[in-house]
Structure 1
């Protein structure tokens, strides 16, 4: 069996952001062995790259693929769009570390982000999870963050209160261990309990442990709507006082009343960069987001976990308070007509008819108002419903994308009617925005999905086409590359991603079927 591959006559975009060049690339032993013109090697599989571009493998800076290696190791929805590295552990919820006492709670808490596991998480440390994921031989490579909420859960469960000094010390010890085991940093999901229960002062202290190891924090801020700017400034304070590097997760303004506010954040980032801070953001190129239906409910309602939330709904006075605040959040997100159910787990009632419908349609069918319907569905599903939120401005998307501090992510969550970003974010970015709209030069775009994410994550073995680096490569027909799916029909692979290699092994060829 031939162990080496020679890719000939490709236009090479090397990931640095520099101009492309024409040449051949020889890969073998998992590495890029040679780059040149008119390479002639014996005993090779030869791939003709004429008329195509060759790039480093794409590095997805925001993923929810934690369980995919165990239940779907082919991962065609990932590798089929050119992604060769997935960063997991986002939004303050990582699958590790976890102790015996909280494994069941964490497993349930993560259903809306990474799907339902067939049993409680069966690893305990970050290193153990990463080893098990690698042994499952998924199509792409995995790196991880430590979730701030998961760290907090290990120490104080889902309690909504300030952490004591001793508790913060224990969190820092867990973070130190995780970083030593290879975590790239820590995530915050400040709309998701228990991550959302942390004070600014607590975040500053735990981030010092991340900064000690040159890690990065990736932050879903407390508010992406009316308090977007204030929420951003909270994290600027955390960055400055802890010394940590920072990336804002999926930068956007949610709801028509808030469109345009992201431009002020872009201006602020320019100031911070001039002051010497390493700060940036990621973005998915779609005008809708996706997260759990529970995001429409105030975070305090989940203090103590899902059981405590359901108990509050059973109490008339508590229900009225939850109802009132949920109504406010739902309104700011644009109302039920902008909230589309993507997937519903098994529940005490048959809700199999819901995926694909909007919450206003669901409310009408249930004979309830929108807010009552939200709370009713959550109460019957252990709060594990996944939704698509149609509430982002196209003008904002393009403004954010043009920033030099931009990188791309999928934020992909696989469900029965998932967000199309889970299957075709990178082809949409390259085809629609870069080729068709001319948002940025192609060499800049390639840097935003390869070399720059590698730099932020300190992945020095990948992200560039260089001799001696990992042979994570994507061969693309740039004239054709594009998504083929939609919000209505999301489970489709893109076109134009011709071949994908991961550590020198061919993992995807166009035409493979889901």
Structure 2
């Protein structure tokens, strides 16, 4: 199918007929038809209901029926934790995301964003974005680039605290001064006025670790004034996880903003099992302030190569190395043995680069994925030479592992965690639900087949069971052909929806 064929005409109506419709609200699915016209959802009707009269369908003469018998029809998935800032421009087809049913990505996580940095030599952790150059000093300029070359998915943006620091400060190993905080606040205010969702921080990384709660809360207060959200990669996901969560909650509470804890985990063997402690803490805090978290359904994380994360116990898979690209795809312990040195020495020799760290235990991951306050985010790094499999498989994996195999998430709840809950938490008005008048972001999937095939050995693998993906009313991905049918994404502004637990 060509891009032109996929587009249809302004008067055309596409009817997804006889599917099991899940509307994104966590309500049980029901047999129904979904009507799409002009980029919006025209109607969601029970199966067998009389067809809309011509006057009710804007007099459309062109009506195309898509038989969805045996299929699930759901809102397009929202990936709330991505580092897709640059890839949506460099590789706008966005096949890894569309092929797993994702129609909207939230960029700028972990304090890392393209805006407002201008440089052709991005240092870590900004290098995680894989950008050839950072050229957007304002969100308006970034939006303009999205508008000029629309990607396959919708793009919603957080502004990274680390990026703000790098722009405003000459020394990152200290808290910001009053003047520097004021400069960052002005940049952040400008971005919020241009439609940013909020601010993210990554005080886990050295470039932001020195930021204190006064610096952070002052910036989050700017976000709160615009109705935005604060997402954070907390300071410590190892032994200090409890104190790090409490710091993040206090920061958001002081500023009056909703909080999202990024990729919540209890990392490291000494920390395994502590979700029995952290999740009740988050629940208690959530009774006092709006809090949610995102999670990916894997026991390994992925970030830059760091010696402090090498403990000689966990497995570490090399996903990138500028110095020794021939070692990509191998385990650090094997590289160290080959070179006759310690793992820490091997890690240092391989830098700069990236790795998958097998830091989590499965029962901890399971508890977070199934928790009522968690949403799904891939946290994939699209420019890694050998990426973590979550880049290609996170969303089908949730359905396969937690709905089909383990039976710990009903289909409706799993879809809610990937759609309606995400839209509400991040202020993505008009998305995340199948409701008349909402944007027509839709996924059609085969519940008997949906599963991820991406592995740590072979990460760039299509998932099974994703049959159709619609973005803003255009058929964007055709599962049987594994092809992009249209690039129909757009920049998505924040909508000031009230967020409550």
Is the pair's TM-score, using the shorter chain for normalization, greater than 0.5? yes
Q: How does 1:205-244 map to 2 (within 5 A)?
A: 205-244=218-257
Displacement of 1:110: 5.0
CA distance, structure 1, for counterparts of residue 126 and residue 213 of structure 2: 27
**Any unmatched runs of 5+ in structure 2?**
1-7, 55-60, 484-501
Partner SS state of residue 194, structure 1 = helix
Give the match for residue 51 of structure 1: 70
TM-score relative to the length of structure 2 = 0.89
- Count of aligned residue pairs for this structure pair: 463
Tell me if the contact between 1:476 and 1:497 (Cα under 8 Å) persists in the aligned partners.
yes
Partner SS state of residue 206, structure 2 = coil
CA distance, structure 1, for counterparts of residue 317 and residue 73 of structure 2: 37
Give the match for residue 306 of structure 1: none
Give the match for residue 371 of structure 1: 344
Structure 1 segments, 4+ long, off by >4 Å, are: none
CA distance, structure 1, for counterparts of residue 453 and residue 173 of structure 2: 44
CA deviation string 1:310-363 (max 9, x = no partner): xxxxxxxxxxxxxxxx3xx422xx54x511101223x4xxx1221111111112
Q: How does 1:97-176 map to 2 (within 5 A)?
A: 97-98=116-117, 100=118, 103-105=119-121, 107-110=122-125, 112-117=127-132, 120-176=133-189
Give the match for residue 466 of structure 2: 497
CA deviation string 1:445-475 (max 9, x = no partner): 1111100110011111111000011000000
CA deviation string 1:463-499 (max 9, x = no partner): 1000011000000101110011211111101000100
Q: Relative to total residues, which structure has the larger helix share, 1 or 2?
A: 1
1:390 paired with 2:358, answer yes
Give the match for residue 399 of structure 2: 430
After TM superposition, the structure 1 stretch with the greater mean CA deviation from structure 2, 8-17 or 264-273, is 264-273
CA deviation string 1:74-114 (max 9, x = no partner): 1110000000000000111110022x5xx234x34356422
Displacement of 1:512: 3.6
Displacement of 1:199: 1.2
CA distance, structure 2, for counterparts of residue 228 and residue 234 of structure 1: 10
CA distance, structure 1, for counterparts of residue 430 and residue 131 of structure 2: 33
Give the match for residue 26 of structure 2: 17
CA distance, structure 2, for counterparts of residue 371 and residue 159 of structure 1: 25
CA distance, structure 2, for counterparts of residue 165 and residue 502 of structure 1: 44
Displacement of 1:262: 2.0
Give the match for residue 407 of structure 1: 375
After TM superposition, the structure 1 stretch with the greater mean CA deviation from structure 2, 32-41 or 49-58, is 32-41
Tell me if the contact between 1:81 and 1:423 (Cα under 8 Å) persists in the aligned partners.
yes
Partner SS state of residue 110, structure 2 = coil
**Any unmatched runs of 5+ in structure 1?**
297-325
CA deviation string 1:149-202 (max 9, x = no partner): 111111104521121111111111111111111110111111223222211221
1:456 paired with 2:428, answer no
Displacement of 1:513: 4.3
Give the match for residue 106 of structure 2: 87
- The equivalent position to 2:333 in structure 1, one of 360, 366, 374, is 360
After TM superposition, the structure 1 stretch with the greater mean CA deviation from structure 2, 77-86 or 171-180, is 171-180
